[in-house]
Structure 1
Amino acid sequence: MDVTDYLARIGADAGDPLDVLIERHLRTVPFENLSIHLGEPIVLDPASLYDKIVTRRRGGFCHELNGAFAWLLRELGREVTLLGARVAGDGEFTAPLAHAALRVVDDGVPHLADVGFGRFGVGPIDLTAPSPQLVPAEDGDLDVRSPTGEPGYRLELHPRSREDFEPTCFWQSTHPDSWFTRVPVCSLPVGDGRATMQGTTLLRTDGDGTRTEEKLGDQEALDAYRDLFGVRLDRLPTPLHPAG
């Protein structure tokens, strides 16, 4: 596990400020759940995450991406704590610990940082100052919103350990009721928009909200995973529990 190689993976330097590290990570390491649909185990220990994201140049979902990023930040001398969250959707929130985010102390000030939320990047946001992206919620939690006000997740502020997230991560990656097991997804910001593969369908969203959808052939899909997201696959992911 080499810090220099990790920084090279995201195109960053050890002296870069926190906002630059977050932005570089978001734009180079895709949010993806492909391992679930390729029969690969989801393992959250730092060495396994480093191998997947840096050595094999893959991505992951929140528990993986923020778990790996937390290791990098600690190696760079920052104080990092894992935080749990419930994700907003359809007018309600998921179970606790469905999402993992980071509390990062930067220049003595605690910030929220998140490179693993598939809808939008988060941070760094000062946790000690008012912000339109952080709205006080019940029980001392915070509702985290996108820069445009889109609901994201309800954040707990007490520290969590990696082991706390393992049961929920296992459920998300195996259970038929989990959306993650129904559709293979790979996504990255592109310019002021976003590119997303859902199985063999390529979705592009521009900054103005314009959305296009293109169904690709098998080889075209493999090429898109490689060319748009840097993910080299020898076969297409097959949905673990296809949506009905």
Structure 2
Amino acid sequence: MWSGDQLDLGAYLARIGYEGPVGDDGELLPDLETLYAVHRAHTRAIAFESLDVLLGRPVALDVKAIEDKLVHGRRGGYCYEQNSLLAAALERIGFQVSGRGARNRTRGDTLLPVTHAVLVVTVAGQSWLCDAGFGHQGPLEPVPLARSGAEVEQGEWTYAVREEEDGVLALSLLRGDTWRDLYAFSPQRYHPVDYVLLNHYSSTHPRSAFIGQVIVQRPGDAVRTALVGRELTRLYPDGRSERRPVARGELVAVLDREFGLRLSERDVEELGRVNLAED
């Protein structure tokens, strides 16, 4: 389903700095401990970013293209790339992985289309939400789906999944004393071909949030960091946030320092032209 047989698993594990459990034969076991370790290493190592969309480049979702970009090229990606890569790796290890399509709820009561890709992984009969592609507010680790409303602590951050009508599941994040919905998804399974369609909308439609602006984000244990347009934001578990503008001349340095993105000369040149056009 996820073309895990085409993935260079060793290169992927090296890219994310995997230091989790390994079986006696040197292979990774499809158990819960491994799932946690892979998920956390991935979200720590690979930033959420949509620079290719900003630069007008096509976003390919075949495994080899994603591997070339995120693993060998050490770039980041957005949800379709991130979770397709994670799904391929988990499938290669031996996990049962299925896709879901989610509606972003971070914009208040506005009903948005299904444009976010998430994964559901089954381990020993229990389902876990896995998502390496929601940016700075997304979970660092798998979130159990078996107990509606149960709070799950991930470092200083707390998540919960509650069940709504028609089997819809909503993921929420606690910031300060307030629960804030991140997204909601139905039980309907999504396949890689469905993500191709969603990816086309997100990367080309003029109303897509990724068109015409820099979006780079990263979750963290103590602070979550996001660069949207020219504004750098830091979120804290107690509900505080800090914002500051990023000057055009410091953009490349910020991408490196804050998000671990070391761009090629071509990327820097094209990004500079886009920013000049915005000015």
TM-score after normalising by structure 1: 0.88
Map of 2:38 onto structure 1: 21
Over the aligned positions, Cα root-mean-square deviation in angstroms equals: 2.2
The SS at the match of 1:36 is: helix
User: Is 1:134–1:144's contact at 8 Å kept on the other side of the alignment?
Assistant: yes
Residue 214 of structure 1, CA deviation: 3.1
Deviation at 1:17, TM superposition (A): 2.4
For 1:210 and 1:90, the matched residues in 2 are separated by 18
Which of 121, 126, 135 is matched with 1:109 structurally? 126
Q: What secondary structure does 1:202 align onto?
A: strand
User: 1:57-111: CA deviations, max 9, x gaps?
Assistant: 1111111111110001111111111111111123033113x11111111233221
Given the superposition, is the C-alpha separation of residues 182 and 78 from structure 1 closer, same or farther in structure 2, using an over 3 Å criterion? same
Aligned residues: 240
Cα shift at 1:119: 4.5
Deviation at 1:170, TM superposition (A): 0.9
Distance 2:36 2:58 in 1: 31
Alpha-carbon distance in 2 for matches of 1:112, 1:216:
34
Select which of 86, 90, 104 maps to 1:73: 90
The answer on whether the counterparts of 1:28 and 1:188 sit within 8 Å (CA) in structure 2 is: no
Alignment of 1:163-182 (within 5 A): 163-182=193-212
Query: Residue 57 of structure 2: SS of its match in structure 1?
Result: coil
8 Å CA contact 1:196–1:203 kept in 2: the answer is yes
Within the candidate set 123, 130, 133, 2:148 is matched to 130
**1:151 and 2:181 are equivalent in the alignment:** yes
Distance 2:249 2:211 in 1: 23
Aligned to 1:11: 17
User: Share of identical aligned residues, percent?
Assistant: 30
Of 204, 207, 218, the residue aligned with 1:188 is: 218
2:167 alignment counterpart: 140
Whole-angstrom CA distance in 1 between matches of 2:89 and 2:211? 28
1:211 and 2:241 equivalent?
yes
SS class of match (2:147): coil
Query: 2:67 is matched by which residue type in structure 1?
Result: Y
Task: Give the greater-gyration-radius structure (CA).
Answer: 2
Displacement of 1:211 after TM fit? 3.0
Q: Which runs of 5+ in 2 are unaligned?
A: 1-6, 22-32, 151-159
> Tell me, what secondary structure is at the counterpart of 1:9?
helix
